[in-house]
Structure 1
């Protein structure tokens, strides 16, 4: 299993709109083969900052079933208008 962590900064005062867009985009992500769980959390101190946490069966599942598909393009199209900068994304394995 691999855990994907994305730190997402949205444009000033776009937090509510981003959260609403994620509510629609979540289904695209969560129903991807190999996606075990997906959630987005919002900072209480910085309401225009979010952290996305996705657990994948493997990095290969993420690449083949999400990243390289129309599903990824649709997910990005819903969220991209609200981003202040590209998300910072890293992948982690349990130790």
Structure 2
């Protein structure tokens, strides 16, 4: 996916509250269920020149199947499927 395709998916499914259950299909053939947390910002070079900077933005996910956070570039992702919006909504499932 490109960054534009990734954020079009986020916008289309209104996942900006970081609580939607999604399935992430990776180009390496694996798939995961989790939530998208946020994107990273580009990092400028360090003043001492030791760090060259990082212009690419990455996406941060929490994966329920592995119980851990992952950071992936959108180009590593084949496609996304929205399973449920508001999956982590406070009070969900309570009567």
TM-score by length of 2: 0.30
More RCO (CA 8 Å, sep 6+):
1
Higher Cα Rg, which structure: 2
Greater share of residues in strand: 2
TM-score by length of 1: 0.30
